[in-house]
Amino acid sequence: MKTKSTNYINLEFLSRSANEAFARGAAACFAAQLDPTLEELGDIKTAVSEAVTNAIVHAYPDSLGKIVMKARILDGDVLEITIRDWGRGIPDVDKARQPLYTTGGEERSGMGFTIMESFMDALTVRSGEGKGTRVTMRRRIVPRRVSR
Amino acid sequence: MEMKYKSENRQLTITLTGELDHHAAKGLMEAIDRCMEQNLPVKTLLDLGGLTFMDSSGIAVVLRAKRRMEALAGALVVVNIPRQAARVLETAGLDRYVDLI
Quick one: A37 exposed, middle or buried, by C-beta within 10 A (0-12, 13-18, 19+)? exposed
Task: Say if the ipTM goes beyond 0.90.
Answer: yes
Q: How many CB atoms within 10 Å of residue A111? A: 25
Report d(CA B45, CA B14) in Å as an integer. 6
**CB-based contacts of A126, cutoff 8 Å, min separation 6:** A93, A133, A134, A136
Residue of A45, A57, A118 with shortest CB distance to B53: A45
Question: Which of B20, B22, B61, B84 to mutate to test binding with chain A, by most A CBs within 10 Å of its CB?
Answer: B22
pLDDT, tens digit only, all 101 positions of chain B:
999 999 999 999 999 999 999 999 999 999 999 999 999 999 999 999 999 999 999 999 999 999 999 999 999 999 999 999 999 999 999 888 888 88
Write down all domains in chain B, each with its CATH number in brackets: 2-100 (3.30.750.24)
Residue of A50, A107, A112 with shortest CB distance to B26: A107
Quick one: B80 exposed, middle or buried, by C-beta within 10 A (0-12, 13-18, 19+)? middle
- Residue B89, chain A, CB below 8 Å: the answer is no
Task: Among 3.40.50.720, 3.30.565.10, 3.30.870.10, 1.10.4160.10, name the CATH number for the domain at A5-140.
Answer: 3.30.565.10
pLDDT tens across A15-42, in order? 999 999 999 999 999 999 999 999 999 9
Nearest Cα to A53, choosing from B87, B88, B66, B86?
A: B88
DSSP label of A65: -
User: Hey, where are the domains in chain A?
Assistant: 5-140
